[in-house]
Amino acid sequence: MAWPAAIRYPGQHPRRATVVGAGSFGTAVAVLLVRTGLRTALLCRTAEQADELARGRHNQRYLPGVELPREPSTWWCGSRHGCDAARLEAAMKTEIHPEYVPAHVRCTCGNEFWTRSTKPELHVEICSNCHPFYTGRQKLVDTGGRVERFRRRAARAGH
């Protein structure tokens, strides 16, 4: 697959980015940055990995089937070439982040909306629809009852 030339506009100065980490996510981010016209360097963990990516233009281990464009240039950690960037994009491991699912939020004021959270159902006492800061009206919040229930539960659990 041939990559289209990066879009350049009159007066546009070439921008640079460095992506740290040549795993699946880092490689994909580097390819997307190249497509948007940024001169991109992909920082690899080892010199061997950088050579393999530069030679084969594929990241078979982490992103099989995706051909890399002429850029990004690949560098390994011991090299200082990839560290001269105006912008730094860090690739993160996916296993360490929680899974976010669509969550239905219900407020005591009756407002309901959808967002994403680690829990599918959320029940709140105050939302942006009824919060005094946004409405300008005072609202009594029963924190004493909730604190007392928490203390009773903690006492039963032996804390």
Q: What is the pLDDT of residues 72-86, one digit of tens each?
A: 666 655 554 545 555
The tens digit of pLDDT for each residue in 42-77 reads 888 888 888 888 888 888 888 888 888 876 666 655
* pLDDT, position 88: 54
Alpha carbon 132 to chain centroid, angstroms: 32
CATH homologous superfamily for the domain 16-90? NAD(P)-binding Rossmann-like Domain (3.40.50.720)
pLDDT band for position 123 (50/70/90)?
very high
Q: Is 106's pLDDT higher than 90?
A: yes
Q: Is 117's pLDDT higher than 60?
A: yes
CATH number of 101-157: 4.10.80.400
Residues of the chain with CATH 4.10.80.400: 101-157
Query: 127: Cβ–Cβ under 8 A, 6 or more apart, which residues?
Result: 105, 107, 109, 111, 113
* pLDDT, position 127: 84
Sequential DSSP letters for 128-144: TTT-HHHH-S-----HH
How far apart CA 83 and CA 61 sit, in angstroms, is 24
* pLDDT, position 70: 75
How much is the mean pLDDT over the chain? Answer: 77
DSSP letter at 82 equals G
Query: 68: Cβ–Cβ under 8 A, 6 or more apart, which residues?
Result: 27, 30, 31, 53, 57, 58, 59
